[in-house]
A and B are shown apart, each in its own frame.
Chain A
Amino acid sequence: DTAVSQTPKYLVTQMGNDKSIKCEQNLGHDTMYWYKQDSKKFLKIMFSYNNKELIINETVPNRFSPKSPDKAHLNLHINSLELGDSAVYFCASSQGPSGAEETQYFGPGTRLLVL
Chain B
Amino acid sequence: KQEVTQIPAALSVPEGENLVLNCSFTDSAIYNLQWFRQDPGKGLTSLLLIQSSQREQTSGRLNASLDKSSGRSTLYIAASQPGDSATYLCAVFANYGQNFVFGPGTRLSVLP
Q: Measured between C-beta atoms, what is the minimum distance from B2 to chain A in Å?
A: 12
Q: Measured between C-beta atoms, what is the minimum distance from A49 to chain B in Å?
A: 12
Please tell me if B46 contacts chain A, counting CB pairs below 8 Å: yes
Q: Is the CB of A56 within 8 A of B49?
A: no
Please tell me if B99 contacts chain A, counting CB pairs below 8 Å: yes
Counting contact residues on chain B (CB < 8 A from A), the size range is 20 to 34
Bound complex: CA A43 to CA B102 (Å): 6
Q: Is the CB of B46 within 8 A of A105?
A: yes
Contacts of A109 in B (CB 8 A): 41-43
Contacts of A103 in B (CB 8 A): 34, 46, 49
Count of A-B contacts with CB under 8 A?
55
Chain A 33-49 near chain B by CB (<8 Å), digits 1 or 0: 10000001111110010
Bound complex: CA A107 to CA B44 (Å): 7
Number of A positions contacting B (CB below 8 A): 25
Q: Is the CB of A58 within 8 A of B105?
A: no
Chain B 71-98 near chain A by CB (<8 Å), digits 1 or 0: 0000000000000000101010100011
Please tell me if A51 contacts chain B, counting CB pairs below 8 Å: no
